Structures are given as structure tokens and as C-alpha cells.
């Protein structure tokens, strides 16, 4: 079996790596942190010019019509560079609308393809212990949306947002025009210097076109998990590389601290965890592109991404000593990013609980991936068309 990327897929990764390198040096990242800008707008325009924002968008809608594999190759490089651009959110939201709610696409497509105001996407409500704080009610004229969505990435800059809400028949994604009356925004900044906003909805009315079917929620969530895990993989790889470089140079007791058994063991543990995450991410991406069921793989990948980011991040800070907590030194940004990614779709316990529930409901899996419940095409599992 060939586990290597194709020539075209490597070309996407190489192009992204070169582009991010031009805009994401340590000094440039420090300038962005101090600027208060919600994201790196100049870099975003370069991503738009290169077409990296339309990898998942179908060709019929003006995108590249490629798969998750191509996007993952790019997102891994984005994580390495700490490139703060809404690269996956906008195109995943457009892809979900194109698949499940094409009548709503004209509201957002031109803006999304042109790189204008970003299209906000937040699935954090799916991981809240009490369920989503947005509630959707069916009415004669369409739907009514009430409640709040907290810390929506770029919610203050976006014109539209795709958010999860609890309806009587399950969790649904809704496309909301944030400029309409009844919407209140409270803006802030995340720990990794991205603009976020709390969004409050006071019984706003949505048309039927703007409410996606229940099947769209799992379809979108699994791909969002893959995107966040790929970013976490890139962040952790670069964090580990820099840490190895540091412990190879830092002297203590006349020796490089990387030669101490405990430090070397920690570096090895970080490498093993990172490679385990890589395996899980690419298995998930393969199944998504093959349109196979991927629910347990998504929950397992998210758990690994959380644990790897958390453990490797704190290990890197620890071996850096006092300089690790000095915000004028760049290593702290990787910890901030790993923590932000770790909270984006819920913590380890949440996804382990969902994995346990899935296994309890699907208890005929064998040692091989040959059980019907695991290999059933995605459309049949979720009722998608």
C-alpha cells in the first residue's frame, strides 16, 4: 500500500508552506498579536488569490472540488506556521450548504469566494454539557431561533454564521444573517489572538432554506474534527521541533540538557504521540474521502488531538524553563494555539463519552474493518442525499 501523498497533494502542501513562511515569521506573529487585528488579513488575501479557500467547494459553485486529503495537507502547514486565517471554516461551511441546503448558497457564495467578510462556523455548541444554548422552533412562517452562541470565531467580522441549534427532531445547523434585527454581538479576543464574539438571538426568524437537515450536523462535525486535528498535528510538530532544537543547545552542568535521560525520554514521548495522532488523522481523512462511516474514527481522533496537544504543549513549556513562560519568546504561542484548538469542539472526556455511546450502540465490530455498521456508506448512515 502507498501511504504517500500524490504529486498534486504535495504541491498544495508546498505552496501553502511557502506562503505561510512569508507571513508568519516570529516577528510578524508578534506584530499581529500586538495589533489587535482579528486575523491576518494580508495573508488571508494571499490564500484567496492562491485558491486555498475553495479546496472543498464543489466545482459547480466555483471551487476546486477536491477532497479532505488536499485540505489536510494545507492545514498541517498552517498549524506549523501558526497562520491565523479562517482557511477551513469558510470552505467547510460552503461545502455543507452546497450539499444540504443549496437554496441558501446564493446568500454567501460570492462573499466566500471573493474573500470578503469571512463566513463564521462554530460547532462548540455540540460539546456543551447541557446541550446547545441555541434553540430552534418550527413555526408556520419557517423557523424561530433563540439563545446564545459563545466565542464564535470571527463572529464580529462575519456577515453570516453557520451554527448548531437544538430542534425537536435533533441537532440542526442554521445559517444566520448576523446583520438582521434581533442579533446582538459582544466582541472579544481568544487566547491565540483571534477575534471572537458572543452572539445572542432574540427570537429571530429563519426561512426553511436556512435550516439544514439533521444529517448535515454529523457530516460537518466529522470534517471539522479532521480540520482541527490536522491543525493540532502541525502545531505540535513544529513545537516539538523547536523544543528539540532548544534542548540540543541549552547547556546545564556542562552538557546539553537534551542529553539527560529524562529530557530525551520526554522528547521521545512527544514524538510517539505526534505520530500516533498523524495515523489517526489520516485514517479519518481517508474514510471521509471514501465516503465511509467515520463517527468512531472522528471521536477517537479528537481525543488524541486533545491529549497530544495538551501533553506535548506542557512538556515543551516545562523543558524550556523560565523562558517558556516569557511571552517575548515564541514558544508560548504554540501552547496558546493547542489550548484554543483543544476547546474548539469539546474536551477529551466529551468525545470519549460519545465514542463509548457509539460502541454501545454498535457492538458487533470485529477485529477487522469488515462489519457492515462500520463500512456502511455515509449517505445511508445519515440519510444524506
Q: Which domains does the chain have, with CATH numbers?
A: 7-114 (1.10.540.10), 120-212 (2.40.110.10), 216-382 (1.20.140.10)
Nearest Cα residue to 161 out of 113, 202, 201: 201
210 — pLDDT class (breaks 50, 70, 90): very high
User: Mean pLDDT highest for which of 194-203, 256-265, 363-372?
Assistant: 194-203
222 — pLDDT class (breaks 50, 70, 90): very high
What would the mean pLDDT of 195-224 be, rounded to a whole number? Answer: 96
Where do the DSSP E strands lie in 64-141? 120-121, 134-139
The mean-pLDDT minimum among 33-47, 183-197, 200-214, 345-359 falls in 345-359
| H helix or E strand, kind and range, residue 359 | helix 348-361
Q: Rg of the chain's alpha carbons, rounded to an integer? A: 21
Q: Residue 148: beta bridge partners? A: 200
Mean pLDDT of the chain: 90
The CA distance from 62 to 55, in Å, is 10
Q: What is the pLDDT of residue 89?
A: 95
Q: What is the pLDDT of residue 385?
A: 38
Q: What is the pLDDT of residue 383?
A: 46
- 132: helix, strand or coil: coil
Rounded to two decimals, the pTM is 0.93
Reported as a single tens digit per residue, the pLDDT across 88-142 is 999 999 999 999 999 999 999 998 899 888 999 999 888 887 778 999 998 887 8
Farthest CA pair distance, the chain? 78
Q: What is the pLDDT of residue 384?
A: 45
User: What cell does 181 get?
Assistant: 434585527
Q: What are phi and psi of 369, to 5 degrees?
A: -85, 65
Reported as a single tens digit per residue, the pLDDT across 225-239 is 999 999 999 999 999
Contacts of 70 (CB under 8 A, 6+ apart): 8, 9, 12, 55, 64
The CA distance from 196 to 201, in Å, is 16
Q: What is the pLDDT of residue 378?
A: 54
Q: Give the strand pairing for 160-167 and 120-121.
A: parallel
Q: What is the pLDDT of residue 369?
A: 52
Q: What is the pLDDT of residue 152?
A: 95
Percent of residues, the chain, with pLDDT higher than 90: 72
Reported as a single tens digit per residue, the pLDDT across 251-301 is 888 888 888 888 899 999 999 999 999 999 999 999 999 999 999 999 999
| H helix or E strand, kind and range, residue 337 | helix 331-344
Q: What is the pLDDT of residue 377?
A: 54
pLDDT of residue 381 exceeding 60, the answer is no
The CA distance from 71 to 68, in Å, is 5
pLDDT of residue 365 exceeding 60, the answer is yes
Q: What is the pLDDT of residue 330?
A: 93
pLDDT of residue 162 exceeding 60, the answer is yes
pLDDT of residue 198 exceeding 90, the answer is yes
Residue 63 burial (CB count, 10 A): 21
pLDDT of residue 376 exceeding 80, the answer is no
Q: What is the pLDDT of residue 374?
A: 57
Reported as a single tens digit per residue, the pLDDT across 330-364 is 999 999 999 999 988 888 888 899 899 988 888 76
373 — pLDDT class (breaks 50, 70, 90): low
What's the start-to-end Cα distance of the chain, in Å?
31
pLDDT of residue 6 exceeding 60, the answer is yes
Amino acid at each position: 500500500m502507498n501511504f504517500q501523498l500524490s504529486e498534486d497533494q504535495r504541491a498544495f502542501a508546498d505552496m501553502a508552506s511557502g506562503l505561510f513562511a512569508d507571513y508568519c515569521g516570529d516577528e510578524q506573529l508578534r506584530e499581529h498579536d500586538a495589533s489587535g487585528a482579528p486575523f491576518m488579513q494580508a495573508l488571508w488575501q494571499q490564500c484567496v488569490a492562491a485558491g486555498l479557500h475553495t479546496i472543498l467547494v464543489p466545482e459547480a459553485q466555483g471551487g476546486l472540488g477536491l477532497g479532505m486529503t488536499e485540505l489536510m495537507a494545507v492545514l498541517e502547514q498552517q498549524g506549523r506556521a501558526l497562520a491565523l486565517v479562517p482557511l477551513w471554516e469558510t470552505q467547510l461551511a460552503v461545502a455543507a450548504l452546497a450539499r444540504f441546503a443549496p437554496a441558501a448558497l446564493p446568500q454567501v457564495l460570492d462573499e466566500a469566494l471573493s474573500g470578503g467578510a469571512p463566513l463564521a462556523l462554530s460547532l462548540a455548541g455540540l460539546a456543551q454539557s447541557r446541550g446547545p444554548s441555541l434553540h430552534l422552533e418550527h413555526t408556520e412562517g419557517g423557523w424561530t431561533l433563540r439563545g446564545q452562541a459563545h466565542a464564535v470565531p470571527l463572529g464580529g467580522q462575519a456577515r453570516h454564521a453557520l451554527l448548531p441549534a437544538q430542534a425537536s427532531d435533533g441537532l440542526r445547523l442554521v445559517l444566520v444573517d448576523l446583520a438582521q434585527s434581533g442579533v446582538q454581538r459582544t466582541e472579544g479576543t481568544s487566547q491565540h489572538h483571534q477575534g471572537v464574539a458572543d452572539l445572542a438571538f432574540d427570537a429571530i426568524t429563519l426561512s426553511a432554506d436556512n435550516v439544514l437537515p439533521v444529517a448535515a450536523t454529523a457530516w460537518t462535525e466529522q470534517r471539522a474534527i479532521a480540520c482541527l486535528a490536522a491543525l493540532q498535528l502541525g502545531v505540535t510538530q513544529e513545537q516539538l521541533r523547536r523544543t528539540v532544537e532548544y534542548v540540543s543547545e541549552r547547556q546545564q552542568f556542562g552538557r546539553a540538557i537534551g542529553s539527560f535521560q529524562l529530557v530525551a525520554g520526554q522528547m521521545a514521548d512527544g514524538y510517539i504521540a505526534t505520530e500516533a495522532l498523524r495515523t489517526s488523522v489520516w485514517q479519518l481523512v481517508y474514510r471521509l474521502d471514501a465516503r465511509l462511516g467515520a463517527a468512531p474514527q472522528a471521536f477517537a481522533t479528537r481525543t488524541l488531538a486533545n491529549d497530544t496537544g495538551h501533553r506535548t504543549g506542557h512538556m515543551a513549556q516545562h523543558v524550556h524553563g523560565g523562558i517558556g513562560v516569557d511571552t517575548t519568546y515564541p514558544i508560548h504561542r504554540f501552547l496558546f494555539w493547542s489550548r484554543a484548538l483543544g476547546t474548539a469542539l469539546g474536551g477529551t472526556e466529551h468525545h470519549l463519552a460519545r465514542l463509548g455511546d457509539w460502541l454501545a450502540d454498535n457492538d458487533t465490530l470485529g477485529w477487522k474493518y469488515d462489519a457492515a455498521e462500520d463500512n456502511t456508506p455515509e449517505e445511508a448512515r445519515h440519510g444524506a442525499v
